[in-house]
Amino acid sequence: MDILLVGSGGREHALAWKIAQSPLCDKLYAAPGNAGIAQHAELVDIEADDIALLLRFVKRAGIDFVVVGPEAPLVGGLVDECRTAGVKAFGPDKAAAQLEGSKAFAKDIMRKHSVPTGGYQAFDRAEAAKGYVSDMQPPIVVKADGLAAGKGVVICNSHQEAGEWIDTMIIEGRFGSAGSRVVIEEFLPGEEASILAFTDGKTIATMPTSQDHKRAYDFDKGPNTGGMGAYSPAPVVSDTIYDQIEHDILIQTVHAMNIEGKPYRGVLYAGLMIEDDAPRVLEYNVRFGDPEAQPVLMRMRSDLLPVLLSTVDENLDEQEIEWDDRPAVCVVMASGGYPNSYKKGYPIEGIDEAEALGDVKVFHAGTAEADGQTVTNGGRVLGVTAMGDDLTAAIERAYEAVEKIHFQDAHYRRDIGAKALD
Ligand code: AMP
Ligand code: GLY
């Protein structure tokens, strides 16, 4: 079958790498893709959130299956449009994608259907939000309701700071319509982990756990980023907690969405905070995590494509998914300055040498091809991913690979996975 993959990050390179290995894949296109994805797919120059143009391409090229990587086209209704056009598409439709598209919607679902999460209240008016905050003990969590490219969450250490952020979002409109409503949340302490499951709305197939590193610098210092690295599995999730998450969170959420008349299909990602063996949901995402997808998909032994298709055809229960027991670690190499301003266009050297070490896959994120050279083209540039017999070996191999790769002003964290060794 002919497939269109939508997106251009490290997650999409990992998806392209897996999909291209499938005997079911005749031809793979990617829109807009990157230099790494171009090794597996023909690139199409359409942005991932341009639903009208994507749909036109799908019809013109006779695409059989659309795989959507990022959240924006899901929340924007690309899957609905494909369905109307008679084309299968992986991911939730617009109504179900509200689990990520609106934090208030997600919280309401959790409260109504007893999915464990922290207390909250949503507000459209700044004065009312500040009144609610005045009774809370800091830290206070202020979130823009809608999609804000990972920048719409602020942990405030005083009432004043919370008030200022409420004004920034609702009155000044920093995040546009995404911030015209805010969600004020109880601060949850603990250790974070991510858990993702495939679902066709009837069955779930839970993937191995993973953990992201959101801060820019070592020891979780510095500004929040899209994610500076990840490892899988996350030892904070014991077998007992894993079962609890499956039951009380993943299955419960899929049920809840059916009851609400918004059946959920695709990948459901629960971002969790775990304290005293009790997991609570921080947020849902309606897609694979980036960079979590890189180590998780590297551990997937089975063909990914039939699994993706089965979530659409509602026969996920017929799929046997095999995972490699060995841990995987992904170290993100970023452009100097990221997540603030940075330069693009620097040549990248050493990717082949890194992969030649064995058990290493270098997934491209912000890269492009210029004059026959791979160059930097984004904040997160590469996701250097390695497997090992144990976590220590995987970490060592990942950093050995990182040392082989060079581009000007490269920045990466040196402590990816260290927390899991403690
Ligand atoms: P989110 O985009 O909702 O996952 O938030 C980004 C990050 O903010 C999370 O990964 C957590 O580290 C932190 N965070 C979000 N919500 C809370 C909360 N209620 N309590 C504590 N930390 C939070
Ligand atoms: N790594 C976090 C995310 O994909 O949202």
pTM equals 0.96
Burial class from Cβ neighbours inside 10 Å (0-12, 13-18, 19+) for residue 325 reads: exposed
Question: What band does 13 get if pLDDT is binned at 50, 70 and 90?
Answer: very high
Least confident of 149-158, 295-304, 354-363, 392-401: 149-158
Please tell me the CATH code under which domain 2-94 is placed. 3.40.50.20
Evaluate if residue 137 carries a pLDDT over 90.
Answer: yes
Question: Residue 151 has what pLDDT?
Answer: 81
Q: Which atom of ligand 1 is nearest to the CA of 283?
A: 3
> For residue 281, what is the enclosing H or E element?
strand 278-285
Does residue 377 have its Cβ closer than 6 Å to ligand 2? no
Q: Judge whether residue 81 has pLDDT over 80.
A: yes
| Among 311, 250, 266, 306, CA closest to 91 | 266
Nearest Cα to Cα of residue 294 among 226, 192, 246, 349: 226
- The reported pLDDT for the residue numbered 405 is 98
234, 420 contact by CB (below 8 A)? yes
CA of 185 to the centre of ligand 1 (A): 9
CB distance 188 to ligand 1 below 6 Å: yes
Position 50 confidence tier, pLDDT thresholds 50, 70, 90: very high
SS3 at position 99: helix
Q: Give the model's pLDDT for residue 149.
A: 80
What percentage of residues in the chain have a pLDDT greater than 70? Answer: 100
pLDDT reading at 117 higher than 80:
yes
pLDDT of residue 322: 98
Residue 281 pLDDT:
97
Return d(Cα 76, Cα 235) in angstroms, integer: 35
The fold of the 125-180 domain, in CATH, is Dna Ligase; domain 1 (3.30.1490)
Given a cut of 90, whether residue 422 has pLDDT beyond it is: no
Q: Is 210 in the pocket of ligand 2 (CB under 6 A)?
A: no
Beta carbon of 194 within 6 Å of any ligand 2 atom: no
The confidence score (pLDDT) of residue 110 equals 98
Looking at the predicted structure, is the pLDDT value of residue 290 above 90? yes
How many angstroms separate the most distant Cα atoms in the chain?
Answer: 60
The residue-averaged pLDDT of 172-193 equals: 93
Q: Is 227 in the pocket of ligand 2 (CB under 6 A)?
A: yes
* Answer CATH for 191-318 from 3.40.50.2300, 3.40.190.10, 3.30.470.20, 1.25.40.80: 3.30.470.20
Mean pLDDT, range 10-18, rounded to an integer = 98
pLDDT tens readout for residues 311-321: 999 999 999 99
Once rounded to an integer, what is the mean pLDDT over residues 240-261?
A: 97
What residue owns the CA closest to ligand 2's atom 5?
289
pLDDT tens digit sequence for 19-32: 999 999 999 999 99
pLDDT value for 150 = 75
Among 287, 292, 297, say which to mutate for ligand 2: greatest number of ligand atoms within 8 Å of CB.
292
Count CB-CB contacts under 10 A for residue 43: 16
**How many angstroms separate the alpha carbon of residue 10 from the centre of ligand 2?**
11
Half-sphere exposure of 120 (CA within 13 A, CB side): 29
User: At the topology level of CATH, where does 328-421 sit?
Assistant: Glycinamide Ribonucleotide Synthetase; Chain A, domain 4 (3.90.600)
Domain locations in the chain? 2-94, 125-180, 191-318, 328-421
Q: Model confidence at 418, in pLDDT bands (50, 70, 90)?
A: very high
Average pLDDT of every residue of the chain: 96
Query: Nearest bound ligand to CA 184?
Result: 1
What is the average pLDDT across 57-70?
Answer: 98
CA distance 378 to 310: 33
Whether 191-318 and 125-180 are alike in CATH topology: the answer is: no
Atom 4, ligand 2: residue with shortest CA distance: 289
Tell me which residue has its CA closest to atom 2 in ligand 2.
Answer: 289
**Confidence tier at 224 by pLDDT (50, 70, 90):** confident
Ligand 2 atom nearest the C-alpha of 292 is 1
